[in-house]
Structure 1
């Protein structure tokens, strides 16, 4: 997976945590059998910045833990239909995930698990949204998404 990790935090995100995000999302991508050339980004930020995004794009006037911006590919941007071989070579950008490092820390403490577990939980949660999973459409969809999320994290080694 071609993953851009962007650090917009005041204090900086450690290389260890950036590498963990890369490894967890690479694992999740293989788990979902995404093509190796799948592209996406994860941006770390503080509460004040994610608050602005949450208010602007979701109409919610407070910080949140994670926001996903999926890129819908309707084919409108590419007027010539590629053949199968060309289609396999074209990278597919699935979108962007924004994560608040402030909320990772507070939620990990509140839930009694590690910062790494919470970080993994949030990026996999956002990743699943980018891949069409949704927990807001009903109980069956919520169960499917959260079961898959838990399975990916447990299999990777970030158990609760």
Structure 2
């Protein structure tokens, strides 16, 4: 899997990015994602994610992670993938500020929080959601399972 990291905060340690890359590859293999799939992960500030959240989700507040799935179809729109096109899964945007806040609030490491948010965003790109109790239980169970198998515990 091809993963592009963009640290707009210029403050994410290289070893965290390495860990998250290995975690995404691990998750992709577990979820049987094509090895040529592409995904991007961006780290931004609370202010930047607030603007994204307002513009795309009409919620004028910072959030921890937002995913933009490229393989998601709406209504009768045509497929945008084929044999000659790369499998672009989409973009994951993570607020580093929010991740730090939540790591402290939940009493675990920033490494664990970034791992959780990365897997959460990636599962959204793969079609998982948590709009109802059943879907939430499936997605959150999958997250816990993947993080545990990879070795990132609370």
The TM-score normalised by the length of structure 1 is 0.88
- Where does residue 57 of structure 1 map in the other structure? 56
1:104 aligns with 2:99: yes
| 1:13-56 Cα shifts (integer Å, max 9, x gaps) | 11111111111111100010111001010000111111110111
- Where does residue 133 of structure 2 map in the other structure? 139
* Runs of 4+ displaced beyond 6 Å: none
SS in structure 2 opposite 1:68?
Answer: strand
User: Which ranges in structure 2 are unaligned for 5 or more consecutive residues?
Assistant: none
In structure 2, C-alpha distance between the alignment counterparts of 1:6 and 1:106, rounded to whole Å = 20
SS in structure 1 opposite 2:17?
Answer: helix
User: Which ranges in structure 1 are unaligned for 5 or more consecutive residues?
Assistant: none
How many correspondences in the alignment?
A: 150
Q: Which shifted more, 43-52 or 11-20?
A: 11-20
- Where does residue 19 of structure 2 map in the other structure? 20
- Where does residue 123 of structure 2 map in the other structure? 128
In structure 2, C-alpha distance between the alignment counterparts of 1:149 and 1:77, rounded to whole Å = 28
CA RMSD of aligned residues (A): 1.5
The TM-score normalised by the length of structure 2 is 0.92
- Where does residue 159 of structure 1 map in the other structure? 153
SS in structure 2 opposite 1:55?
Answer: helix
Aligned counterpart for 1:95 among listed residues 90, 94, 116? 90
- Where does residue 118 of structure 1 map in the other structure? 113
Between structure 1 and structure 2, the one with the greater Rg is: 1
- Alpha-carbon distance change, 77 to 90 in structure 1, aligned in 2, over 3 angstroms: closer
- Where does residue 148 of structure 1 map in the other structure? 142
